[in-house]
Amino acid sequence: MNADIILQLIILVVAVALFASDRVRPDLVAVGIILVLMLSGQLTVAESLSGFSNSLVLMIAGLFIVGEGLARTGIAHMLGERLMKRSGGSETRLLVSLMLVVAVLSAFMSSTGAVAVFIPVTLTLSRRTGTPAARLLMPMAFASLLGGMLTLIGTPPNLAVSTELESAGQGPFGFFDFTPVGLVVLLGCMAWVVLVGRRQLQGESKIAEDESPSLTDLADRYVAVGRARSLRVPAASRAAGHSAESLGLGDSLQVVLIGIERQGRFGREALAPTPDTVIRAGDTLHVVGDENLIDGMVGDLALESLGFLREQDSRIEDAVGLAEALVPPGSALSGRTVLDGRVRSRTGLTVIAITHRDGETERTTADTEIAAGDVLLVVGDWRAIRDLGRDARLLMPLTLPREMADVAPARPRAPLSLAILLIMLLLMTFNVMPGVAAVLLAAMAMVIGRCVSPGQIYRCIGWSSIVLIAGMLPLATAMQKSGAITLIVDGVVGALGDHGPRAVMVGLFLLTAAFSQFISNTATAVLVAPIAALAASQMGISPKPLLMAVALAASAAFLTPVASPVNTLVMGPGGYKFGDFAKLGFPLLVITLAVAVFFVPILFPF
């Protein structure tokens, strides 16, 4: 063992100790590793900084942008809605659905990409169901690693062992050769997480910490709003083909059209109406106003009453929101009626109720007078609600609903962002171009297509994760150059070779898994796979079971936050400490080892 190997092992041990202490930022430790390798002469300056140009790091940066595009256009929110509906409010069903979806997605695309896409989805689910984010994010990340075990392209280590199998004179693994083994591991690990593991993850609900009311809470404060009605426009209705203004909806504020749902090209769509919005046959109109006037309108315009809005399976909150605004002293609205104050033309919002300074609440009409100190309940497009405080001399935002955090500012471009994602997946699945090129192309398309604003590009990238990964990659390079990893692997195989193929399989699995907790699992698989093939040759057995065990171990990166980029990505949002990963991850590692030792030889005999 030469001096270079000794120094590198010391660096590795110190880095692991610092990571485990939680006293030093992980990205700062990574910068320290770069400096030590550079200043000690272990690597050249270019090699020490090579992590920042590594395709994996660039791919992760690009995936942050792709994930932001999916969040800002509402795709992430839509997936969250689907998962929430399927869960029916049950944390167990929510966790199972989330893990299955992420695992299947990771079988055909980068696990890092899947996690980057689903972090905003998971946080949305946490907010809306009251489930602590810590109980969802780590299982979701681990599901992406488990999903990588399902197909040949699920993760680079699978391709590495397949290439080594072909080099050993046998055909490569087939696309779905990994599926039976990976499926058993996935189901076993999911069962543990759902039945036992999730209780080991502590975290406070974001809902409990958020004092902002929901849209429902705001509506319940004002009885008239809580009784909003939904009306369908049949083909024979006289409302079809007319604008909201021509029908008198909103002029007198006796009946106000607050939202419309209609069938669009990509399914049911919600929109905030303007006076010029033309009503179409098949639309669902959501209105607030005098009950008798609404009933009269139903008869006059030949509409169909569907009941109260809150009884409907509606998506109107995607486009329309509520907020409370305070009329400050000196406001141009003070002393004027709602009509004379031109609230709609000034703000794009409609006043539908008012709470006066004396505490009396009433539904507004065009003649309702506004005074300084009054609180107005306004309804309208989410963008207008976001802009409510732009002119604080006119109106001051008082209460904004918590749903505002889930609103997608670029929702009309949702089909484009979804198309970009699907094209990226196809390019990566069929190897049309390098994965990093496909991701960067998708990221660029998100910006050009205005799914992500230029000003948001650098704010949406998790730079601490980027620096951490870029700092760990040079350490793996140094250990490969010095022969440190090969020396350790040779020792383990030499010690276990006389105890039979299963003992060698256990040794290779544990060794691969140990290194995969701290350095690139791809680099580990590349180094260990030739040793596994050579050991099989010397023992006169098939290399398939040993190589399959190496692939499973490389993906079982459950014990540390630096074991895989996906772990690093969820560490901050989940509020996890270094040891939290081992609490949940160690049983999953044991399950994966058991499958490798007892199930793999059944499918791939020695």
Percent of the chain with pLDDT over 90: 16
CATH code where residue 388 lies = 3.30.70.1450
> Could you tell me if residue 147 is inside a domain?
no
> What pLDDT, in 10s, does the model give residues 4-29?
888 888 887 888 778 767 677 778 88
Residue 204: predicted pLDDT: 45
- Measured in degrees and rounded to the nearest 5, phi and psi for residue 388 equal -60, -35
Whether 491 and 551 map to the same domain: the answer is: yes
**pLDDT value at residue 209:** 43
pLDDT, average across residues 339-343: 85
Residue 420 lies in a domain: no
Are both 309 and 330 inside the same structural domain? no
Q: Nearest to residue 29, comparing CAs of 571, 478, 470? A: 470
Helix/strand/coil for 93: helix
CB of 379 closer than 8 Å to CB of 325: no
pLDDT for the residue 556:
92
Residue where a domain stops, chosen among 401, 422, 440: 401
**Looking at 71-85, 104-118, 232-246, 552-566, which range is the least confident one?**
71-85
Mean pLDDT of all residues in the chain?
A: 81
Given this model, what pLDDT does residue 208 score? 38
387 vs 353: CA distance, rounded Å = 20
Q: Which residues contact 395 (CB under 8 A, 6 or more apart)?
A: 325, 326, 327, 328, 331, 333, 347, 376, 388, 389
Structural domain including 506 reads 483-560+571-603
How confident is the model over 187-225, as pLDDT tens digits?
A: 999 999 999 888 877 654 333 344 567 677 777 777 655
pLDDT tens column, 270-300:
888 888 889 999 999 988 887 888 888 888 8
> The tokens of 267 are what?
């399914």
Residues 332, 295 within the same domain: no
Last residue of a domain, one of 401, 416, 441: 401
pLDDT of residue 552: 94
The structural domain count of the chain equals: 3
Do 335 and 267 lie in a common domain? Answer: no
pLDDT digits 0-9 by tens, 448-488: 998 887 877 887 777 776 787 788 778 877 877 887 767 76
Asked if residue 348 is part of any domain, the answer here is yes
Are residues 294 and 384 part of one domain?
no
Same-domain pairing of 591 and 502? yes
Higher pLDDT, 399 or 599: 599
What per-residue confidence (pLDDT) applies to 109?
67
Query: What confidence category does residue 322 fall into, taking pLDDT thresholds of 50, 70 and 90?
Result: confident
* pLDDT of amino acid 54: 79
**CB burial string 141-178: b at 16+ within 10 A, e below:** bbbbbbbbbbbbbbbbbbbbbbbbbeebeeeebeeebb
State which of 22-26, 114-118, 380-384 shows the largest mean pLDDT: 380-384
pLDDT of residue 520: 66
Q: What is the pLDDT of residue 364?
A: 79
Does the model's pTM come out above 0.85?
no
| pLDDT value at residue 145 | 93
Per cent of the chain over pLDDT 70 is 87
Q: What is the pLDDT of residue 53?
A: 84
Instruction: Identify whether residues 303 and 351 lie together within a single domain.
Output: no
Task: Check residue 540 and give its pLDDT.
Answer: 82
The predicted structure's pLDDT at residue 588 = 94
pLDDT above 90 (res 590): yes
- Please state the rounded mean pLDDT for residues 546-566: 88
Which residue among 372, 401, 430 closes a domain?
401
Compute the average pLDDT of residues 50-73.
79
Q: Could you give the CA distance from residue 585 to residue 560 in angstroms, rounded to a whole number?
A: 8
Same domain, 594 and 530: yes
Q: Are residues 515 and 592 in the same domain?
A: yes
